[in-house]
Amino acid sequence: MSTRITGPIRRLKEDILENTIFTLQDFMTCTKGLTYIIMGGILVFMPLFWKFLTDREDD
């Protein structure tokens, strides 16, 4: 059974993967918005990764 993606997720897929962005406003909103989300993810990931690297140092 194939599931049809609809709504905002479909729009995001079209915008990003199929590169159908028509205006600079769309481009900036889409790329900057996604970049900020990724940066947030990195900010959460890096301290956790540092903890993973160092939590056995006292052993």
Interface positions with other proteins (CB under 8 A)? 16-19, 21, 27, 30-32, 34-35, 38-39, 42, 45-46, 49-50, 52-54, 56
Smallest gap from Cβ 6 to other proteins, in A, equals 20
The residue among 6 and 54 lying less far from other proteins, judged by its C-beta, is 54
The residue among 1 and 42 lying less far from other proteins, judged by its C-beta, is 42
Distance CA 36, CA 45 (A): 14
Buried/exposed code over 5-17 (b: 16+ C-beta within 10 A; e: otherwise): eeeeeeeeeebee
Tokens of 19: 């590169």
